[in-house]
């Protein structure tokens, strides 16, 4: 698969099939992804891969925590506010997905069922957790993690796999630490759900939008 095709074709998958992902495929993806760029070649990232019974135990605990209304305590805090144009894009994608599923925004029960599916990682058979050491400068390390996570997603797409970078996977870091034995000296940054996409699911194939190039690029001649 050509690079541009992978970049344009990769998308967030919101329903996976039950088919298992061979460990060798995940290893191949991570082996290639470690060549992603990083500041000063520091390569601050680390990964924990969950599959099988440990992953299912985490999904169940994650779903219970969400249903109980526990406050999220991610190692990397979510922003408290967004600039208006970014908030509008976020709202637009949410409305698009609700419309595709025939759900009214006022239907709280239906929306809670969606959140429960998110907590269950949309049925993904594999979760890759990205971490950084607590002692590193977070801004640079987070930039590097973003680069390697995108690389993982592109490599997975090129192999026919789907991915979804999920805040819902890292809302309750203590659950991950207990399930995956992630030590306190590592900050949990992101969770990447990995699996085989369900090609018939509407949210896996709707037309996506991106900001017009003129909105995001300034040319200085």
- 117-150: pLDDT as tens digits: 999 999 999 999 999 999 887 888 999 999 999 9
Across all residues in the chain, what is the average pLDDT?
Answer: 95
- Distance (Å) of CA 92 to CA 9, 89, 96, 110, 118: 20, 5, 6, 18, 18
Q: Mean per-residue pLDDT for 66-87?
A: 92
Q: Where are the alpha helices (DSSP H) in the chain?
A: 3-9, 23-33, 52-67, 84-100, 108-119, 138-158, 173-180, 213-216
Per-residue pLDDT, averaged over 88-116, amounts to 90
What is the structure's pLDDT at 201?
A: 96
Q: How far apart are CA 39 and CA 69, in angstroms?
A: 38
- 112 band by pLDDT with thresholds 50, 70 and 90: confident
Name the pTM for this structure: 0.95
Listing DSSP states for 1-42 in one string gives: --HHHHHHH--B---B-SPPPPHHHHHHHHHHHTTS--GGG-
Question: What pLDDT score was predicted for residue 138?
Answer: 81
Q: What CA–CA distance (Å, rounded) separates 54 from 61? A: 11
Asked if residue 55 has pLDDT above 90, the reply is yes
- 78 pLDDT band (50/70/90 cuts)? confident
Place of tokens 């594999």: 126
Of the listed ranges 57-66, 72-81, 126-135, 168-177, the least confidently predicted one is 72-81
Residue 191 backbone phi and psi in degrees, to 5: -120, 135
Ordered by where they begin, the domains of the chain are 3-208 (3.40.109.10)
33 has pLDDT over 90: yes
User: What pLDDT shows up at residue 92?
Assistant: 92
**What mean pLDDT comes out for the span 76-85?**
89
The per-residue pLDDT for 58 is 97
Tell me: pLDDT of 1 over 80.
no
């Amino acid at each position: 698969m050509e690079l541009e095709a992978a970049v344009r074709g990769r998308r967030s998958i919101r329903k996976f099939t039950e088919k298992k992902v061979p460990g060798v495929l995940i290893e191949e993806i991570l082996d290639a992804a470690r060549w992603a760029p990083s500041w000063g070649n520091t390569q601050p990232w680390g990964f924990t891969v969950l599959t099988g019974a440990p992953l299912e135990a985490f999904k169940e605990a994650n779903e219970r925590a969400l249903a109980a209304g526990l406050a999220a305590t991610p190692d990397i805090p979510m922003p408290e506010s967004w600039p208006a144009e970014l908030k509008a894009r976020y709202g637009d994608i949410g409305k698009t997905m609700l419309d595709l599923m025939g759900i009214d925004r006022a239907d709280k029960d239906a929306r809670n069922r969606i959140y429960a599916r998110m907590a269950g990682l949309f049925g993904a058979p594999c979760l890759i957790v990205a971490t950084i050491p607590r002692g590193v400068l977070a801004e640079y390390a987070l930039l590097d993690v973003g680069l390697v996570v995108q690389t993982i997603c592109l490599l997975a797409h090129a192999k026919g796999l789907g991915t979804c970078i999920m805040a819902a996977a890292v809302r309750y870091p203590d659950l991950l630490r207990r399930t995956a034995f992630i030590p306190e000296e590592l900050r949990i940054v992101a969770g990447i759900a990995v699996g085989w996409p369900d090609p018939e699911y509407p949210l896996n194939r709707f037309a996506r939008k991106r900001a017009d190039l003129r909105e995001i690029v300034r040319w200085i001649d």
